[in-house]
């Protein structure tokens, strides 16, 4: 790609970037809710598996939150470039 195409691709309205990040944060928010709902349900059904369920729950929570953090980074790149 040449430099003019890259410069045009990086020129995004900051308001549009904020709306995009807000919409992008909905997915990880729903995902975190579903993860911990499953952990709570599993613990209620089988209390002796609580430790394993919490470990798996926190691991998947971290992976889901990485998506939101990537969205924040992309928002700042789009807003301040």
Domain 3-80 falls in which CATH fold? F1FO ATP Synthase (1.20.20)
**58-74: per-residue pLDDT in tens?**
999 999 999 888 888 88
pLDDT classification of 80: cutoffs 50, 70, 90: confident
**pLDDT attached to residue 13:** 75
In angstroms, the CA 75 to CA 6 distance is 17
Average pLDDT over residues 49-54: 96
Q: What does the domain layout of the chain look like in residue ranges?
A: 3-80
Closest CA to 26 of 75, 64, 63, 57: 64
Is residue 5 predicted with pLDDT exceeding 60? no
């Amino acid at each position: 790609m040449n430099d003019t195409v890259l410069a045009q691709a990086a020129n995004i309205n900051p308001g549009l970037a904020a709306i995009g990040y807000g919409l992008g944060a909905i997915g990880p928010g729903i995902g975190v809710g579903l993860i911990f709902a499953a952990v709570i349900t599993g613990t209620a059904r089988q209390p002796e598996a609580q430790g394993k369920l919490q470990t798996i729950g926190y691991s998947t929570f971290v992976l889901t939150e990485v998506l939101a953090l990537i969205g924040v980074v992309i928002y700042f790149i789009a807003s301040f470039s």
